[in-house]
C-alpha cells in the first residue's frame, strides 16, 4: 500500500512542511529508515538521526525547532508518539478490511449467530448459541464455548480460548494463546487433608477497548463475573484470578498475578512481576513498582508503592539509602562504643 504525505496528514490532523505528494510504502525506525518509509521523532535522544535519516516522511512534534536542515517531509502534530500509534492502528485496520469469510475446515454450531464482514480462520470451533457481531476477526484455532458473545470489531488471534458464557466487548484485541474463562482456583480443605473442588459457575466479562497480550489467563468467577473494565491494557503472561475486577484504563505489565476477589481501581499502573494477594482493594491511580508484593489494600489514590511487602515509594527509597549506608553506620557506632569505653575508664 502506498500513501502520500497529504493523505497521512489528514488521518492524524497534522500540518505538512515539505512535499505533500511524497509517497511512502512502509514504516521505519528513524535511525535506519530508507527512502519510501515513514518514521517519527519524539525523543530528544534520537535527534542526531533526524538530520541523517533517509526516511521520506517524519512525524514530529509541532514544537520542534530543528538546528539543521532536514531532508524529509515533516508532518507536525501535537504529540508525535501518539500520532504515530494512531497511524499504525489505521494501517492495521486497512490491512484487515479484506480479511472476510470463513475458512475451512471449521465447526460452527447451527445455533450460532454470525454478523456481517466476519472472518473465521481454519480449525476454529464456534459453540452452541455463540454470538459473533459485525466485523469481528477470529484467527485460526480459536475456541469459543457455548453462549459466548463477541461484540463488533474485536479481534481474537490464533489459539485464543474463550470458555462458555463469557462476554467480550467491542474493539477488544486478545492475542495468541490467551485463555478466557478457565476455572478459578477454588478448593475447600477437608478433614482428611484432601481438597474438594468448588465449582466455578460464573463467567468473565471484558468491556470495550481492552487489549490482552499473549498467553494470559483470566479465570471465571465462582459466582458472578470476573471483570476487565473498558480501556484496560494487559501485557503478556498475566494471571487474573476469579472474581477480580480490573478498573478502567488500568495497565498491567508482563508476569504479574492478581489473586482472587481483589478489586483494582481505574488508571492504576502495575509493573512487571508484581504479585497482589486476594481480597484487597487497590485505589484509583495507584502505581506499583516492578517485582513488588502487595499484601494489603492501597487506600490512598495515586499512591506509588514498591518492595515486598510493598510500601510507599519515597519511604522505600529512603530505606534503601539507609541500607546502603549500613556498613558506614556500623563503623561509626563501633567508634562511638570505643570512645564511650575509654571515657568510662577515665
Cα–Cα distance for residue pair 144/304, rounded to 1 Å: 39
Q: What is the pTM of this model?
A: 0.83
Print pLDDT tens along the chain (346 aa): 799 999 999 999 999 999 999 999 999 999 999 999 999 999 999 999 999 999 999 999 999 999 999 999 999 999 999 999 999 988 888 888 789 999 999 999 999 999 999 999 999 999 999 999 999 999 999 999 999 999 999 999 999 999 999 999 999 999 999 999 999 999 999 999 999 999 999 999 999 999 999 999 999 999 999 999 999 999 999 999 999 999 999 999 999 999 999 999 999 999 999 999 999 999 999 999 999 999 999 999 999 999 888 868 777 777 777 777 888 888 888 889 888 888 888 7
Three cell numbers written together for 328: 558506614
Give the pairing type, strands 233-234 and 211-212: parallel
CA distance linking residue 246 with residue 226, whole number of Å: 9
User: What's the pLDDT at 308?
Assistant: 85
Q: Is 135 a catalytic residue?
A: no
87-99: b (≥16 Cβ within 10 Å) or e: beeebeeeeeeee
Gap between the Cα atoms of 240 and 48, Å rounded: 43
**Which residue among 109, 242, 279, 315 is the active-site one?**
242
Question: Is residue 229 a contact partner of residue 251, using CB atoms and an 8 Å limit?
Answer: no
Show the CA angle centred on residue 322, arms to residues 321 and 326, nearest 5°: 125
What is residue 92's predicted lDDT score, i.e. its pLDDT? 86
Amino acid at each position: 500500500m502506498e500513501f502520500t504525505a497529504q493523505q497521512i496528514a489528514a488521518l492524524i490532523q497534522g500540518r505538512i512542511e515539505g512535499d505533500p505528494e511524497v509517497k511512502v510504502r512502509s514504516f521505519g525506525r528513524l535511525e535506519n529508515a530508507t527512502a519510501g518509509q515513514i518514521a517519527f521523532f519524539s525523543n530528544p535522544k534520537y535527534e542526531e538521526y533526524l538530520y541523517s535519516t533517509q526516511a521520506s516522511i517524519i512525524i514530529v512534534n509541532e514544537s520542534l525547532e530543528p538546528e539543521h536542515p532536514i531532508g524529509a517531509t515533516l508532518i507536525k502534530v501535537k504529540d508525535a508518539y501518539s500520532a504515530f500509534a494512531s497511524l499504525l492502528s489505521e494501517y492495521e485496520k486497512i490491512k484487515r478490511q479484506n480479511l472476510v469469510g470463513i475458512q475451512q475446515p471449521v465447526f460452527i454450531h447451527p445455533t450460532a449467530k454470525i454478523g456481517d464482514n466476519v472472518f473465521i480462520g481454519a480449525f476454529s470451533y464456534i459453540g452452541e448459541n455463540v454470538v459473533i457481531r459485525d466485523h469481528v476477526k477470529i484467527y485460526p484455532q480459536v475456541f469459543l464455548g457455548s453462549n459466548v458473545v463477541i461484540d463488533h470489531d474485536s479481534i481474537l488471534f490464533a489459539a485464543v480460548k474463550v470458555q462458555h458464557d463469557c462476554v467480550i466487548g467491542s474493539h477488544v484485541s486478545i492475542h495468541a494463546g490467551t485463555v478466557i474463562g478457565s476455572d478459578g482456583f477454588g478448593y475447600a480443605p477437608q478433614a482428611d487433608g484432601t481438597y474438594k473442588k468448588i465449582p466455578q459457575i460464573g463467567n468473565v466479562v471484558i468491556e470495550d477497548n481492552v487489549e490482552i497480550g499473549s498467553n494470559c489467563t483470566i479465570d471465571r468467577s465462582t459466582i458472578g463475573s470476573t471483570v476487565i473494565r473498558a480501556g484496560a491494557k494487559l501485557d503478556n503472561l498475566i494471571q487474573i484470578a476469579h472474581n477480580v475486577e480490573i478498573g478502567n484504563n488500568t495497565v498491567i505489565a508482563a508476569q504479574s498475578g492478581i489473586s482472587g476477589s481483589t478489586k483494582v481501581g481505574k488508571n492504576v499502573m502495575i509493573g512487571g512481576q508484581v504479585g497482589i494477594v486476594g481480597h484487597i482493594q487497590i485505589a484509583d491511580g495507584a502505581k506499583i513498582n516492578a517485582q513488588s508484593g502487595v499484601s494489603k489494600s492501597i487506600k490512598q489514590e495515586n499512591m506509588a508503592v514498591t518492595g515486598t511487602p510493598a510500601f510507599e515509594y519515597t519511604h522505600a527509597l529512603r530505606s534503601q539509602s539507609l541500607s546502603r549506608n549500613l556498613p558506614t553506620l556500623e563503623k561509626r557506632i563501633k567508634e562511638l562504643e570505643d570512645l564511650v569505653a575509654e571515657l568510662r575508664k577515665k
